[in-house]
Structure formats: C-alpha cells, structure tokens
Amino acid sequence: MKGIEQLYRSLLEPSEALIADIKKTEGDILVLGAGGKMGPALTLLAKAAIEKAGIQKKVMAASRFSEPGLRQQLEKQGIETHAVDLLEDKALEALPQVENVLYLAGQKFGTTGKEWLTWAMNAYLPGRVVQQYRNARIVVFSTGNVYPLSPVSLGGVSEDQPVGPVGEYAQSCLGRERLFQYGASKYSTPLFIYRLNYANDVSYGVLLEIAKAVYAGKSIDLSMGYVNVIWQGDANEMAIRSLLHCSTPAKIVNIAGPETTPVRWIAEEFGKLFEKKPVFVNDEQPTALLSNAAESFRLFGYPRVTLKQMIVLLAEWIKQGGKTINKPTHFQEREGQF
C-alpha cells in the first residue's frame, strides 16, 4: 500500500503554475466550508503552494468540522481553523476579514425531504457571505447541474448557453450564483463562479463508484451514459488560481475533464484491470449532464492528471484496500432528485 499512497501523494503536489499564481495573489486566504469532500485537500494544497513559493500568507479554514480529527489535522499543517455554523449570523460575522475567499459551503445529498435546508445553505447563506466579504475576491463553487441535460453529440454546455436546472438542488445552486451576483453588483465585489462537474479522488467520485461496482460484480446503470471527469487535485489547483480571475461582473467558468467519456468504456477499462466482466443495466440516453470546459483550459491549461492515470490509480487503490468515503455522487440521477 505504501507505493500506491506515495504515487497518490505525488499527484497532489502543487504545480509550478500554482506556485507562480499564489505569489501574485495578494492577501490571506479563507476557505469557507472547508470540511467537505474537496475542502481539506484544497486548503492543504494552498498551504503547500505558499510554502513552496517561500512567501508569508495565512490560510484559514472555516467549517463545522463534524469529521473527527480533521480540525486537528489541518492545524498540524499550520492552517488556522474556525469551528463555525455559517448559518449563524453572529458566528459568520465573527470570522476574520480577508482579501481572498474560497466558498465551498453547500448542501446536495439529503435535499429531498429537507428542501428548506438546501435552500438556506445554497441560496440564503450566499447572500449573507457576499455581504460579509464584500471587499474580498470570492471564488464561488457551483455546479454543472445548473445546466440542463444536453445532446451528447454537442460535447457539453458552454458558459454562454442558457441554464436550465432540473430539481430543487440544481435550482438552489442557481440561486446561490444569483445571490452572489446580486451582492457583487451592489458592492462591486470581484467574483469567479466555478461550475464544477465530476471531480474525482481515490476516496470518492464517479470513477471510484464505477470501479467498485465492477470489482464487486454489481450492475452499472448506463442511463447517464457519459461523463467528463477531472482529478480533484487539478480541480483544486484551478480553484485557487481562479482568485486571480475574479471580476465584476462575475467571471463564470466550467471546470470539468476534457473528454466526453462513455460510462461503458470506463467500466470496461476497470474490467480489464480487475479481470472481471462489467455488468450493465439500462441503455445510454442521447442526453447527459456534460460541460464544455474549454475556457478553463485557456485560463489554466489542461489537467495534469489524465483519465488513464486516474483509472489505473483507482484500480490499484481498490485492489490494495485503500480508504474510501461513503458519499455516493448519484451521477446516474436524471430527474434532479438528490
């Protein structure tokens, strides 16, 4: 397991491009919602880039920190942490003012039955945050779910095409964007709206779910037959580098992998590595949730970690019993019910 863990860690190291951009980013950085799937790695990546750049800059993380040990892990690496419920106004107002905010807070899974909480997290809270940090640069994590399903033949929806969120989760995410945009217009706050699709790590993501299904001989639903996956480390780099591209009005950019990749092909690739035959149910539909991320590649270059690298790494991770987290993506969902 030691060898595969070393390879994994090497794929999380900051790139020279990130180190160069962190030098240009003036002021300290605060990650709001740092306890989720991407937050801890993003926070540590920012810290590592600052250290490699040889500059003085604080990285702060705010979250409820419900995962045992996470707060201590970040503090051990020199991250200043703030345990806080962001929906509590006084707690939000007590957080330090900074020049740069990465906004990762949000609610997705468990939306059905608790729609009120989803709207509070995804639409009410953004209005409060942009008021609190109206003098900062803010990178707002959003999602490709604000787009409708689109014909696979088109290769994904680009930023200049109309949104069309399906279901209350996606609608609330568009609400998040609109509340930030309202605040940015009112206060002239520089924004970058970061519409992410299909980030993957060894511990979670679409690729992991497909791999685990193949390994266990479980069926794979082809209803959402195509995805464009990106390595979480690359997605995190792009998020931090986005601080240099915040603007008024907001800059909106899709973050996703460059390929429109068939789920069937991914499963078959894992099948070769596991020497197992994938089991499929349902048929591919002519539409899927896909984003055209060409603008992000213009700004940041192509992702460093390729699709094949991710597949090989994940296959070995599963075979060696690497740790994963039980947070399904529900990527097969076509009706927006999360």
Torsion (CA) 29, 35, 38, 41 in degrees, nearest 10: 60
Nearest residue to 23 (alpha-carbon basis) of 241, 296, 253: 241
This prediction's pTM: 0.95
CATH class of 2-201+232-259+289-304: alpha beta
- Residue 58's Cβ-count burial label (10 Å; 0-12, 13-18, 19+) is middle
Task: Look up tokens 């279901």; give the residue.
Answer: 167
- Could you tell me the mean pLDDT of each successive run of 10 residues in the chain, 338 residues long? 82 95 98 93 97 97 93 96 96 97 86 85 96 98 96 96 93 97 96 96 95 96 96 97 97 97 98 97 96 98 97 95 81 73
DSSP 3-state helix, strand, coil percentages of the chain (rounded to 5)?
45, 15, 40
Q: At what angle do helices 232-241 and 16-24 cross, to 10 degrees?
A: 20
Tell me the DSSP string of 96-133: PP-SEEEE-----TT-TT-HHHHHIIIIIHHHHHHHHT
Instruction: Please give the Cα distance from 192 to 292 (Å, whole number).
Output: 17
pLDDT for the residue 134: 97
> Which amino acid, residue 172?
S
Buried b (16+ CB within 10 A) or exposed e, 263-302: bbebbebbbebbeeebebeeebeebbbbbbbebbeeebee
pLDDT for the residue 111: 63
pLDDT for the residue 162: 95
pLDDT for the residue 338: 63
pLDDT for the residue 91: 95
pLDDT for the residue 7: 85
